[in-house]
Amino acid sequence: MAVIFPRWSNWIFPIVFGLVGPVVTVAVISGVWYWVSPEFTDVGYQPEQPVAYSHKLHAGELGIDCRYCHNTVEQGAAAAVPPPATCMNCHKVIKADSEKLTLVREAAAGGDALVWNRVHLFPDYAYFDHSVHVSATIGCVECHGRVDQMVKVTQAEPLSMRFCLACHKDPGPNLRPHSELTNMAWTPEDSPEFDPHASGRFPDPPQHCGGCHR
Ligand code: HEC
Ligand code: HEC
Ligand code: HEC
Ligand code: HEC
Ligand code: HEC
């Protein structure tokens, strides 16, 4: 009988499945991992919103402080998104008949709730608390970028483990005077007299796994 497969061909299958296979698999998985990892996908995420509310107009041009609307950032883990009543403080007078505000007026009058689409999708297995960061005088801009220039909110930073740890290893350069927490344009040159050690307690953010994975 003719030899169809030469003796050396016995090695092809082990090589293909034992060596090439895993190498290709690892390459594909790490390629996909990179593309779907938050480092890559979340930055720039900008969902549509039911109402054309603009941070550029309200926080930027009108200069309304972030905490007027996100009023729990200093006390709570989450930064509350304002109810329609907060909008109506102004809009029952300003642009009171605007079509762009129809959903806000209806919700404030007890109609269908106004449901904003989440911009930041943070995993359940990691723990985050706004109040700790705000009281340690980390400005909103460090994690959210120039929201005051955004017509529609976009995720500006990856909020990945690497991003969190980069600051936790060396928080000093990111601290600022308490009065500048929501000032998006602040730079250290604006407060040459500021000394982060003056408060007597220099922050010591957790770097151990249990600090963020509880
Ligand atoms: C007049 C009220 C108001 C003010 C002032 C305001 N915001 Fe907002 N903010 C909202 C509303 C309403 C939403 C939800 C709709 C949206 O995403 O645009 C929101 C959404 C956000 C989000 C996205 C939340 C998510 O879904 O993940 C961030 C981040 C944010 N605001 C930061 C800020 C910062 C920083 C400031 C100050 C520079 C600020 N906001 C000032 C009303 C306000
Ligand atoms: C150290 C980083 C950091 C700082 C500083 C920070 N945020 Fe956030 N913010 C986050 C993360 C992370 C999330 C997503 C949290 C989640 O989904 O549980 C978030 C989510 C939000 C949301 C959506 C609602 C929520 O709490 O999930 C709003 C609104 C918001 N931030 C506003 C602010 C404002 C206003 C400030 C400044 C006073 C601020 N943030 C400072 C990291 C930060
Ligand atoms: C401190 C007052 C104030 C608050 C609070 C406020 N706004 Fe406004 N808003 C304004 C002003 C001023 C304008 C600009 C009006 C103009 O163009 O003459 C405006 C404009 C708007 C417009 C554009 C309306 C149009 O017809 O062009 C929308 C939409 C809007 N706001 C949504 C909201 C939403 C949603 C909230 C609550 C999350 C809110 N605003 C909270 C003062 C406020
Ligand atoms: C720009 C700097 C900075 C960034 C970015 C940052 N942190 Fe922090 N973090 C701090 C500081 C400062 C503290 C306060 C430490 C203290 O008070 O001793 C802190 C404290 C914490 C704590 C301890 C809270 C507690 O209750 O003890 C957790 C958990 C935490 N951060 C999680 C995160 C996560 C998750 C991220 C990424 C989404 C993040 N941080 C991003 C600076 C930062
Ligand atoms: C400063 C906060 C912080 C600390 C400390 C921290 N992590 Fe994370 N970790 C995160 C955040 C935030 C994410 C989610 C990032 C994302 O959106 O995927 C994460 C994600 C992860 C993941 C999921 C895979 C990935 O990369 O997305 C693993 C596994 C993990 N962490 C393990 C650890 C281990 C092990 C340690 C201790 C050596 C640790 N973490 C310390 C914040 C932290």
72 C-alpha to center of ligand 2: Å? 11
Mean pLDDT is lowest, of 57-71, 74-88, 166-180, 189-203, for: 189-203
pLDDT at position 155 is 95
| Tens digit of each residue's pLDDT (9 = 90 or more) over 198-210 | 878 899 999 999 9
The whole-chain average pLDDT of the chain stands at: 88
Residue 62 binned pLDDT confidence (cut-offs 50, 70, 90): very high
Instruction: Tell me the average pLDDT across 25-41.
Output: 54
Euclidean distance between CA atoms 111 and 104, whole angstroms: 9
Ligand 4 atom nearest the C-alpha of 214 is: 29
Q: Which structure tokens are listed for 117?
A: 């689409």
Domain limits, the chain:
55-81+121-212, 82-115
| Tens digit of each residue's pLDDT (9 = 90 or more) over 126-158 | 999 999 999 999 999 999 999 999 999 999 999
Ligand 3 atom nearest the C-alpha of 62 is: 12
95 C-alpha to center of ligand 1: Å? 20
pLDDT at 174 over 70: yes
Euclidean distance between CA atoms 103 and 119, whole angstroms: 20
209 C-alpha to center of ligand 5: Å? 7
Q: Report H helices in 49-187.
A: 55, 66-69, 84-91, 102-108, 130-135, 141-144, 161-169
Euclidean distance between CA atoms 81 and 83, whole angstroms: 7
- Residue 138 phi, psi (nearest 5): -100, 125
Ligand 2 atom nearest the C-alpha of 159 is: 12
| Tens digit of each residue's pLDDT (9 = 90 or more) over 90-126 | 999 999 999 999 999 999 999 999 999 999 989 999 9
The pTM is what?
0.90
**C-beta of residue 147 within 8 angstroms of C-beta of residue 53:** no
Whose CA is closest to atom 21 on ligand 5? 161
Whose CA is closest to atom 6 on ligand 3? 87
